[in-house]
Amino acid sequence: MGSKKRPKLDNDLYEAELTKLQAELVEMQEWLRTSGNRLVVIFEGRDAAGKGGAIKRIMEYLNPRVARIVALPAPTERERTQWYFQRYIEHLPAAGEIRLLDRSWYNRAGVERVMGYCTAAEYQRFLRQCPIFEQMLAEDGIMLRKYWFSVSGKEQDRRFRSRLTDPMRRWKLSPTDLESLTRWEEYSRAKDEMFVHTDLPGNHWRVVEAEDKKRARINMIADLLASVPYEKVKRPHLKLPKRPTSTGYRRTERDLQLYVDDFAASLERSGKRPKKYVDPEDEDRHHRSEAKLVPKPEPKPEPKPVPEPVAPTPPELPTPARAITPTTPEPKVGEAVTEP
């Protein structure tokens, strides 16, 4: 049974809760760093399901020396001859580190399987070895979290069409992405088969409903925080020292250094305000949801016009009667006419 479609998450609520969750992510990072624990988070799912947006919000306030994104390109000819998991192993975290995998070794069960980039024997070997490989990670103390971002075909198609004309996101589309539109059911079957072999007790897939990207980000980050047993770390009190008195240092003359042009000042002088970029995938959905969910306000009744004061009309005077002039009958033929 499909999940009930929910309205788009209110943007003010989203922004407030996201900031709160990001503050908790910083606390989780500090606990990992000081305790020496290691965390790997896998992001998989349909193309255009919102994986990259979720990763971006997670990383926004984290230390890039502690938390890093792993997004590997297609394997080289040399890597194709290695053990399949080998090229991922070098990107696993050391003590106190976080790795966010934007796609992962599950490429073999998804795109490689559907597009024919691996043989049937390689695919079957992956399904046998993957649970063992992930069990080895767990036994070595690495915390592994696997998230699958789920989106409908209709919503995926809408996002693809948006990216065709969006210069900021056009790079996200590839021929392989577009091919996925014609292989929807093949990818669905591949995902179901992958879950059969890798959705195991103690190592479950966590499915994120991603029709609304903002709702998906909030849900995913909240689940990640709830799954990691972090504690708030007491930090040492820091105090800024006083600046020492000058010893006579003189700054280098400005003319001797190359400064960048004050482009901001030219913007101020022009008086122009560049249009803010709005993600069209959110903007279009925002307008549609508002049209459906926000009732149009009833028009306010227009105030009745106040009649202007009219001067009293003077009474009409009676019209004098017209004098009736008696008419003289015309004489008959042959009759004499006499003067009055």
Check pLDDT > 90 for residue 297.
no
Q: Is residue 160 part of a domain?
A: yes
Decide: residue 221, CB within 10 A, 0-12 exposed, 13-18 middle, 19+ buried.
buried
Rounded to whole angstroms, the Cα distance separating 136 from 83 reads 16
CB contact at 8 A, 22 and 16: no
pLDDT tens per residue, range 109-167: 999 999 999 999 999 999 999 999 999 999 999 999 999 999 999 999 999 999 998 99
Q: How far is CA 28 from the centre of its chain?
A: 24
pTM above 0.95, yes or no: no
> For residue 279, is pLDDT > 90?
no
CA end-to-end span of the chain = 119
279 in any annotated domain = no
**What is the residue range of 155's domain?**
11-227
153 token code pair: 């075909």
Average predicted confidence (pLDDT) for the chain: 87
Higher-scoring residue by pLDDT: 90, 296: 90
CATH for 124: 3.40.50.300
Which residue do the tokens 């003289």 mark?
328
Q: What is the model's pLDDT at position 307? A: 58
Q: Which of 227, 231, 225, 220 is nearest to 203 (CA)?
A: 227
How many domains in the chain? 1
